[in-house]
């Protein structure tokens, strides 16, 4: 379609202004959108073809200004300055224009080719705000296109203008923002010194000069290695003295004030707000949700409601799926004449993979609940309400957002910590995220609470497990912060966006993406794990046991007892032989080696094997139990894992509790460990951490098991 004309555009704007929404609307992608600052922490690219052009769209993390603050913001600045996209699309949050224009003034200084997407124009109109676009265009020296990423408005016009800007086919001349004369004098002096430096030719001299006056560390480093630095330094010192003397301030502050003054002027000239102070819907909601008395209970209620929903809405769907897989196994079994093949399919694939797939409804519901939290705007409120508590443990209210994400999956949560500025706070938050019980652990809880607790207490037991995770996590944070990772706590300044209705499509696609991921995991990783587990728990065959089986079967057949009695004897015999064979297998032998270590927690060797294989992915714990118990069945008929566990003498309520706690706390799955390594940079802390979590899991499970034994 495109004839080789490629345009690269970058979406830059304040956090939460709708860049990713616009990116999705333009490219048809389904990147994550949420109503709080710092949803996007990495750059994403997408393509679209428009009028013979191939347009590469780059979505960037949000920034408030070109002087970055946290790691994810550095990505954006680096991209804008070093990669120089053809056109920068400055996305503005329409209802919040004044603050958003600060970045625009900085793009003006950078002298890149840019245009403005005045986003959320639907909300602007709803509020009765009128923007004189023509006039504002002149002041900003760029095109302004009203858009609504949510309602897909203004997209074609935006694209048309992007093409025109990239072809330099524009009739709006760039405007310059002038600072007060004292600042301008210093800027000019430094710029003049820099224009003679060929090596720095990549950047415009005026911008470098402004950044130097703003104490921009990166630019300092850049310029410092040139001889001209000696002269520049003198000018900078002079400017500092001057600002101090005349304004009792410093150049950085004066520059920012002048930018704001410019914006103020532009706002007065071009934007008409409806008079009077109106209380918005968000204000009313916050009066309740952030109320001094109700705030905390509401917060707990919200989290509790999500888990309750996951459980109660999910369980009938789960039962239906269980029934389906049971029926499938019964239907398939007679069609498979070969006994080995039958065992692979029934004991391995259906018991193992099917055993995990039945939890799909719970997982999807959990993610729907979480995406509702993220999309509504409550996330920032939760951080606000809980910050005090987090602070006590040396953490940051903002750390709380990745923690909540961690209830879904640790991997995006660990990446989301990039919004934290301080490195130690990031490290600590990364280390506690795995204690936030992720979606993959959910099947273990649902299985065990379903098997050993009455339906009405099951959800609360599960909620208790989640709370335990939070408590252990905070405790870990506190220990880390007061020993190895001592540091001042990171400042907390955070915007509270207005509440917004989650869009159906974004919630739907989040749920769809998560379900597909889950299915894919079941079809690849879990399937292969299950087949390996099946093999190691079947082989090697104990020939002696087989002989014993046939000899004793013959004996039973020859004996003179009644047919019913014969059957019973035969069954008992087969069960005994099977379990002896299982113990003889590779898995059995490995498990027996492990058993002494986990016996104090109430686990037998089968659970030991499940816990080891669970390191690949936590759902595999359930698959492994499914396969091992299914193989150990006497007649090979498919039986629900839940009822097998219930009948197993080595399993009790206390074991179930202990196992849930252990799965909650022990070493994160390999994928999470990998991401941890990537974010932390080194293996050592990650390995130490694994050791730590394993010990904590052992100790807490031990306590829980012993206490439960006493109480039950």
Partner 1 sequence: MRLSELNVGEKAEVTALKAVGAIRRRIMDMGLIKGTQFKVVRVAPLGDPIEISFKGLYLAMRKNEAEGIVVCKVDAFNGEEFSQADQQPIE
Ligand X SMILES: Nc1nc2c(ncn2[C@@H]2O[C@H](COP(=O)(O)OP(=O)(O)OP(=O)(O)O)[C@@H](O)[C@H]2O)c(=O)[nH]1
Task: Indicate the residue among 39 and 526 with the shorter CB distance to ligand X.
Answer: 39
Task: Indicate the residue among 100 and 537 with the shorter CB distance to ligand X.
Answer: 100
| Number of residues written out for the chain | 712
366 near ligand X, rule: CB under 6 A: no
User: Residue written as tokens 């498990």?
Assistant: 591
> Nearest-5° angle of CA 217, CA 220, CA 222?
115
- Decide which of partner 1, ligand X, Mg ion, none touches 698; Cβ closer than 5 to 8 Å per partner kind: none
15 near ligand X, rule: CB under 6 A: yes
321 near partner 1, rule: CB under 8 A: no
Task: Select from 37-45, 255-263, 447-455, 467-475 the region that touches ligand X (CB under 6 A).
Answer: 37-45
Q: How far is the CB of 256 from ligand X (least distance, A)?
A: 21
20 near ligand X, rule: CB under 6 A: yes
**52-81 positions binding ligand X, by CB under 6 A:** 61-62
Q: Which two tokens stand for residue 371?
A: 């995406």
Task: Select from 11-19, 45-53, 200-208, 271-279 the region that touches ligand X (CB under 6 A).
Answer: 11-19
76 near Mg ion, rule: CB under 5 A: no
**487-546 positions binding ligand X, by CB under 6 A:** 500, 503
17 near Mg ion, rule: CB under 5 A: no
Task: Indicate the residue among 198 and 292 with the shorter CB distance to partner 1.
Answer: 292
Q: Using CB under 8 A, pick the residue from 82, 196, 221, 292 that binds partner 1.
A: 292
Q: How far is the CB of 376 from partner 1 (least distance, A)?
A: 15
Beta bridge partners of 53: 5, 50
510 near Mg ion, rule: CB under 5 A: no
How far apart are the two ends of the chain, measured CA to CA in Å?
A: 71
**682-701 positions binding ligand X, by CB under 6 A:** none
Beta bridge partners of 271: 131
Task: Indicate the residue among 4 and 276 with the shorter CB distance to partner 1.
Answer: 276
Paired sense of beta strands 144-146 and 53-59, if any: unpaired
**382-401 positions binding partner 1, by CB under 8 A:** 383-385, 387-389, 391, 397
Cis peptide leading into residue 540 (ω within 30°): yes
**136-175 positions binding ligand X, by CB under 6 A:** 148-150
Quick one: which of 415, 624, 391, 626 has its CA closest to 525?
Answer: 624
- Decide which of ligand X, Mg ion, partner 1, none touches 421; Cβ closer than 5 to 8 Å per partner kind: partner 1
**Which whole-number Å values give the CA distances from 236 to 177, 190, 191, 208, 225, in the listed order?**
20, 8, 12, 12, 16
- The Cα–Cα gap between 25 and 10 comes to 14
Task: Select from 19-27, 321-329, 484-492, 643-651 the region that touches ligand X (CB under 6 A).
Answer: 19-27
SS3 for 598-612 is HHHHCCCHHHHHHHH
* Contact between 11 and 155 (Cβ < 8 Å): no
Task: Indicate the residue among 29 and 573 with the shorter CB distance to Mg ion.
Answer: 29
Quick one: which of 155, 55, 161, 37 has its CA closest to 93?
Answer: 37
Within 13 A of 461's CA, how many CA atoms are on the CB side? 26
437 near ligand X, rule: CB under 6 A: no
Task: Select from 33-41, 177-185, 226-234, 700-708 the region that touches ligand X (CB under 6 A).
Answer: 33-41
Quick one: which of 551, 588, 585 has its CA closest to 570?
Answer: 551
Quick one: which of 398, 476, 506, 411 has its CA closest to 696?
Answer: 476
Q: Using CB under 8 A, pick the residue from 295, 369, 588, 591 that binds partner 1.
A: 295
40 near Mg ion, rule: CB under 5 A: yes
104 near partner 1, rule: CB under 8 A: no
495 near partner 1, rule: CB under 8 A: yes
220 near partner 1, rule: CB under 8 A: no
**228-287 positions binding partner 1, by CB under 8 A:** 252-253, 256-257, 260, 286
Task: Select from 40-48, 88-96, 160-168, 609-617 the region that touches Mg ion (CB under 5 A).
Answer: 40-48
* Contact between 191 and 205 (Cβ < 8 Å): yes
- The Cα–Cα gap between 429 and 432 comes to 5
CA dihedral 503, 505, 510, 515 (to 10 degrees): 140
Paired sense of beta strands 114-119 and 87-93, if any: parallel
423 near partner 1, rule: CB under 8 A: no
φ and ψ at residue 390, rounded to 5 degrees: -60, -40
Q: Which two tokens stand for residue 662?
A: 């252990």
* Contact between 436 and 403 (Cβ < 8 Å): yes
Query: Residues in the site for partner 1, rule: CB under 8 A?
Result: 64-65, 67, 69, 95-96, 98-99, 102, 252-253, 256-257, 260, 286, 290-296, 380, 383-385, 387-389, 391, 397, 421, 491-497
Query: Residues in the site for Mg ion, rule: CB under 5 A?
Result: 19-20, 39-40
């Amino acid at each position: 379609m495109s004839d080789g004309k490629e345009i690269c555009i970058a979406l830059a704007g304040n956090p939460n202004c709708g860049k990713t929404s616009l990116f999705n609307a333009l490219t048809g992608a389904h990147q994550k959108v949420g109503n709080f600052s710092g949803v996007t922490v990495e750059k994403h690219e997408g393509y679209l073809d428009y009028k013979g052009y191939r347009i590469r769209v780059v979505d960037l993390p949000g920034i408030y200004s070109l002087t970055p603050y946290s790691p994810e913001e550095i990505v954006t600045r680096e991209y804008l300055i070093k990669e120089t996209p053809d056109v920068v699309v400055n996305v503005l949050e329409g209802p919040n224009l004044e603050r958003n224009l600060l970045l625009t003034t900085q793009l003006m200084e950078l002298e890149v080719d840019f245009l403005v997407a005045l986003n959320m124009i639907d909300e602007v109109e709803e509020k009765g705000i009128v923007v004189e676009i023509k006039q504002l265009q002149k002041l900003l020296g760029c095109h302004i296109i009203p858009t609504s990423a949510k309602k897909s408005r203004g997209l074609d016009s935006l694209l048309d203008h992007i093409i025109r800007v990239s072809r330099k086919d524009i009739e709006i001349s760039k405007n310059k923002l002038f600072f007060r004369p004292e600042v301008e004098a210093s800027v000019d002096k430094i710029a003049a010194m820099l224009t003679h430096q060929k090596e720095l030719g990549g950047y415009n001299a005026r911008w470098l000069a402004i950044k130097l006056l703003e104490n921009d560390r990166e630019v300092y480093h850049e310029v410092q290695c040139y001889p001209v630095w000696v002269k520049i330094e003198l000018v900078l010192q002079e400017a500092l003295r001057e600002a101090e003397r005349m304004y009792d301030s410093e150049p950085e502050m004066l520059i920012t004030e002048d930018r704001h003054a410019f914006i103020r002027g532009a706002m007065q000239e071009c934007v008409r707000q409806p008079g009077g102070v109106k209380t918005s819907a968000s204000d009313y909601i916050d009066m309740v949700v952030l109320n001094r008395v109700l705030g905390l209970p509401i917060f707990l209620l919200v989290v509790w409601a999500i888990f309750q929903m996951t459980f109660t809405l999910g369980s009938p769907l789960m039962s239906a799926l269980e029934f389906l897989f049971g029926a499938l196994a019964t239907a398939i079994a007679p069609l498979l004449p070969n006994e080995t093949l039958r065992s692979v399919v029934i004991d391995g694939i259906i018991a193992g993979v099917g055993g995990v797939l039945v939890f799909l409804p719970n997982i999807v519901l959990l993610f729907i609940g979480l995406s509702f939290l993220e999309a509504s705007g409550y996330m920032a409120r939760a951080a606000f309400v809980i910050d005090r508590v987090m602070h006590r443990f040396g953490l940051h209210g903002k750390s709380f957002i990745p923690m909540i994400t961690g209830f879904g999956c640790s991997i995006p949560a660990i990446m989301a910590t990039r919004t934290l500025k301080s490195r130690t706070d990031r490290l600590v938050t990364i280390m506690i995220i795995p204690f936030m019980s992720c979606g993959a652990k959910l099947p273990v809880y649902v299985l065990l609470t379903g098997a050993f607790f009455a339906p009405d207490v099951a959800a609360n037991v599960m909620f208790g497990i989640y709370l335990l995770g939070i408590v252990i996590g905070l405790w870990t944070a506190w220990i880390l912060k007061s020993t190895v990772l001592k540091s001042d706590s990171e400042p907390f300044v955070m915007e509270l966006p207005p509440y917004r209705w989650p869009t159906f499509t974004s919630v739907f696609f989040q749920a769809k993406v998560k379900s597909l991921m889950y299915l894919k995991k079941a079809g690849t990783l879990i399937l292969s794990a299950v087949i390996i587990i099946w093999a190691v728990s079947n082989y090697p065959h104990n020939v002696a046991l087989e002989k014993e089986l046939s000899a004793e079967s013959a004996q039973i057949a020859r004996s003179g007892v009644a047919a019913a009695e014969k059957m019973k004897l035969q069954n008992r015999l087969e069960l005994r032989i099977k379990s002896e064979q299982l113990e003889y297998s590779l898995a059995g032998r490995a498990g027996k080696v492990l058993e002494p270590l986990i016996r104090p927690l109430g686990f037998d060797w089968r659970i030991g094997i499940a816990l080891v294989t669970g390191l690949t992915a936590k759902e595999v714990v359930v698959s492994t139990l499914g396969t091992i118990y299914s193989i150990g069945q006497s007649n090979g008929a498919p039986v629900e894992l839940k009822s097998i566990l219930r009948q197993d003498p080595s399993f009790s309520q206390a074991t179930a509790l202990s196992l849930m706690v252990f799965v909650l706390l022990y070493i994160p799955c390999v994928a999470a460990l990998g991401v941890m390594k990537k974010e932390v940079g080194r293996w050592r802390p990650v390995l130490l951490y694994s050791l730590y979590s394993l010990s904590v899991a052992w100790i807490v499970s031990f306590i829980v098991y012993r206490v439960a034994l006493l109480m039950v």
